[in-house]
Structure formats: structure tokens, C-alpha cells
Amino acid sequence: MQYWLMKTEPDVFSIDDLKNAPGQRAGWDGVRNYQARNFMRDGMRMGDQIFFYHSSCDPPGIAGIAEVCKECYPDPTQFDRKSEYYDPKASSAKPIWYMVEVKFIEKFPRLVTLDELKNLQAKLGDFPLLKRGNRLSVMPVSPAHWKQLLKFCK
DNA sequence: GCCAACGTTGGC
DNA sequence: GCCAACGTTGGC
């Protein structure tokens, strides 16, 4: 079992949107960064747990937990000319971008803000999310960090 | 809205 | 393969 953190803009797709989605499941399409793609394609397996992070909002922070409920498959938006995620270099024979599906697990009683995470850094040590200039939308979380953050978030 | 940081693109 | 230009992310 592995642990992850995934960013999303709540204006576009929030933890409540996931909670209210059919079957409380949703596809994580639109990732167009190779490193993030590789984490989804090569790292994410059924049942992996995910911190659901709200970014580009006030305040940003961890909103809850999701779980991988379907492993990677080609992201159909890359073939869709009308999609903002359309990629002319991709073909169904040679897809470039992949996505997973995630399932709602829980929403925390309150958003655990980026500020609080920064304050925890002294105790937890380096957390990839807090690295300067980090823009990855999908990143691994170590089991130790997961455990401690979870305790703090609940 | 600004801008630092970083990824990607494309000319050479 | 280098690197300047450009685009995007995301906190502030």
C-alpha cells in the first residue's frame, strides 16, 4: 500500500464534488505533466490512499482522503479535439497521458491548511508538498508522514 | 494580479 | 545537447 497527495482546484473539482459524484467516484483526467503521470501510471495501485489537496484557493490545504479505485488507463481527453486537454501528438495506438479513478473516503472535519502543514514541518521533516517551487500535482507521501499527518488532520 | 519557480519547446 | 523563450502553477 502506498500513499499519495493529489492537488485540485476546488473551483474545478472539490472534495464535495467527489463526495457527491455518482458512486462517490471520479476519474482524475487532465494531468499533463510527465512526472505526475509517471506516479499515476507506475506507482498508483488499487487501494492506495490519497490526501485530497485543495490548491489555488484561500486557504489552500488538505481537505480529506480518497482511494485509488481504478488503476491507470489512457486519458480519453487527450484524443478529444474539443477538450482543453487535447494533445495532437497522442493517438489511441500511442497514448501519452494516463489517468486513474479515485473513490471518496472521507472529508476532514476542517481543512488542514498549508500554514498548519508548514508549522508541522519541524516535527515531520521535509514534506515534498512544501518544497520550494514545487508544482507537482501528484506526489508520493511516505508512510511515516501519512500516519502523522492523518493523526493531525482528524 | 504579481511573480518565482520550474517544465517544455524549438532553433541552432 | 544546449539554452533562451515561453507557458503554467500556485502561493501570496
What is the pLDDT at residue A27? 97
**Residue pLDDT, tens place only, A78-127:** 999 889 899 988 988 899 999 999 999 999 999 999 999 999 988 888 88
Q: How far is the CA of A12 from the C1' of C6 (A)?
A: 26
The pTM assigned to this predicted structure is 0.94
Using the CB atom, is residue A137 less than 7 Å from strand C?
Answer: yes
Q: Whole-angstrom Cα distance, residue A17 to residue A19?
A: 5
The reply to whether the CB atom of residue A145 sits less than 7 A from any atom in nucleic acid chain C is no
Percent of chain A residues past pLDDT 90, beyond the cut: 81
- What sign for the dihedral angle of Cα A136, A140, A145, A150? positive
pLDDT digits (tens, 9 = 90+) for A31-58: 999 999 999 999 999 999 999 999 999 9
- Separation of A55 CA and B10 C1' (Å): 31
User: What pLDDT score does A131 carry?
Assistant: 87
